[in-house]
Structure 1
Amino acid sequence: MSEQDLREEIVRIVEELYEAQLITPTGGNVSVRLPDEEGAYLITPTRLHKGSLRPEDIVRVNAEGKPANRRQRPSVETKMHLAIYDAYPDIEAVIHSHAPYATALGLIEGRIPPISVDAVPFTDMRVVPFGLPGDPDLIDRVVAALEHAPAVLLQNHGLLTVGWTLRQAANRALALEEVIQILVTCRLLGGDPKTLPEETVELLRQTGAL
């Protein structure tokens, strides 16, 4: 996929997440690793309305986070994205969203039980304490948390998902938000949801269902 194709895909994914209310007008950020170009990445800009981004608004940065176009300002979370790419060479896309149900679960340090196939990849997901954007301790904790699941709850600050593709990272954000919404609804109805049998959960993990 060319750089232009990736720029257009980022815009489409951001629009999709914005319409799904996982990204707010200025909250959330999306990045991808540029294929066949070591140390080159695309990331959403800071302060621009996420519902009306254009491909040319997407910022190209190097491994130090410096933009190729000095007039552009990359996301304030750029350092965190780059640290993830550096630690995990197989990760090709990172999405930090402000998904409301996921954010709420992070505030109470909740865990995800295996209530569905979609929930299984996230049952070992960690909650990382709040830190300001660019805080080295926050970045280290996020990188470490990704050893356990392809998503991290950022306490007081939303959800981070990763993927082998941008589509996968977005699908994970959407799926996880729905799982948490179902979990919250069950508890509002006064009960704990039934979970999948342990052998089914183990089989899904072994086969890499998601």
Structure 2
Amino acid sequence: MLLLEERMKVVEYGKKIISSGLTKGTGGNISIYNREKQLVAISPSGIDYFETKPEDVVIINLDGEIVDGSKKPSSELDMHLIFYQRRDDLNALVHTHSPYAKTIATLGWDIPPITYLVAFAGPNVRCAPYATFGTKELAEKAFEGMVDRRAVLLANHGMIAGAHNIETAFMVAEEIEFSAQIYYQAKAIGELQSLLKKKWLACQRNLKVMARDDPLLGGFFFFCVLI
């Protein structure tokens, strides 16, 4: 079976985005890019994650053509492809409808550097302007919003997170959802205090030290753009 390892991981992490509460039903989607073969394994459209089998995962090329698989690929195919076509640091993407990220995105807010966990995506998490789901317009806006970042909120929709592998992409999605929850709760209680640039730099230095001993973090924070 073509890209069996990638297919199995798409199935595995599809179950994880449900069990972790990052999405509901058949919402959201996952893809993994095999850069050597220039092929993408992407979750199928409209199939329950706990019923999805490796053979249901669709294999496509960078032109969006189906290379292997009988199912319809995710409706957000264009949004996944644009990142693999234009960025060489991303090999996996996780798109979620997680409740707190979606709440902040519905308000049209960015997530500021309120906690060092935001550094999993960059100095902040931008909110891309609204575009209809499944369109090339949404793909373009998501890409623009995620320049120099590892995650972006999609207005009135959700979030997409990416990394060099699926394990890290999923971790980014989890940490940004948690950051969105903290942001929502803090805004509800009182005046927010963002980390100043000096403190933010200290956070990044500490995280870089942590990255040396953690393969999931290795090299990750060096892509952050300082504010």
TM-score normalised to structure 2 length: 0.83
Instruction: Write out per-residue CA displacement over residues 84-112 of structure 1, whole angstroms, 9 at most, x where no aligned residue.
Output: 10010221011111011001101112222
Q: Which residue of 1 aligns with 2:76?
A: 77
**Residues 123, 104 of structure 1: CA spacing in aligned structure 2 closer, same or farther, 3 A cutoff?**
farther
| 1:128 matches 2:136 | no
Instruction: Write out per-residue CA displacement over residues 5-44 of structure 1, whole angstroms, 9 at most, x where no aligned residue.
Output: 2222221111111011212211101001014202x11000
Q: Helix, strand or coil for the counterpart of 2:81? A: helix
Using the alignment, how far apart are the partners of 2:202 and 2:81 within structure 1? 33
| 1:173 matches 2:173 | yes
Q: Which residue of 1 aligns with 2:20?
A: 20
Q: Which residue of 1 aligns with 2:60?
A: 61
Instruction: Write out per-residue CA displacement over residues 36-81 of structure 1, whole angstroms, 9 at most, x where no aligned residue.
Output: 202x110000010123322221111112212224622101111111
Q: What amino acid does structure 2 have at the position aligned with 1:151?
A: A
Q: What amino acid does structure 2 have at the position aligned with 1:152?
A: V
Q: What amino acid does structure 2 have at the position aligned with 1:29?
A: N
Q: Which residue of 1 aligns with 2:157?
A: 157
Using the alignment, how far apart are the partners of 2:113 and 2:191 within structure 1? 12
**Residues 50, 70 of structure 1: CA spacing in aligned structure 2 closer, same or farther, 3 A cutoff?**
closer
Give the number of aligned pairs.
207
More deviation, 57-66/92-101: 57-66
More deviation, 86-95/50-59: 50-59
Q: Helix, strand or coil for the counterpart of 1:51? A: coil
Residue pair 2:43, 2:57 contacting (<8 A) in 1 also = yes
| 1:107 matches 2:106 | yes
Q: What amino acid does structure 2 have at the position aligned with 1:125?
A: V
Q: Which residue of 1 aligns with 2:216?
A: none
Residue pair 2:105, 2:156 contacting (<8 A) in 1 also = yes
Q: CA deviation at 1:158?
A: 0.6
Q: Helix, strand or coil for the counterpart of 1:50? A: coil
Name structure 2 gaps, 5 residues minimum: 209-220
Residue pair 2:29, 2:43 contacting (<8 A) in 1 also = yes
Q: Helix, strand or coil for the counterpart of 2:95? A: strand
Q: Which residue of 1 aligns with 2:190?
A: 191
Using the alignment, how far apart are the partners of 1:66 and 1:116 within structure 2? 41
Q: CA deviation at 1:204?
A: 3.8
Residue pair 1:102, 1:159 contacting (<8 A) in 2 also = yes
TM-score normalised to structure 1 length: 0.89
Q: CA deviation at 1:176?
A: 0.6
More deviation, 105-114/152-161: 105-114
Using the alignment, how far apart are the partners of 2:140 and 2:110 within structure 1? 21
Residue pairs, 1:23-62, within 5 angstroms: 23-38=23-38, 40-62=39-61
Residue pair 2:161, 2:173 contacting (<8 A) in 1 also = yes
Residue pair 1:114, 1:123 contacting (<8 A) in 2 also = yes
Using the alignment, how far apart are the partners of 1:130 and 1:198 within structure 2? 29
Residue pair 1:29, 1:75 contacting (<8 A) in 2 also = yes
Using the alignment, how far apart are the partners of 1:122 and 1:106 within structure 2? 17
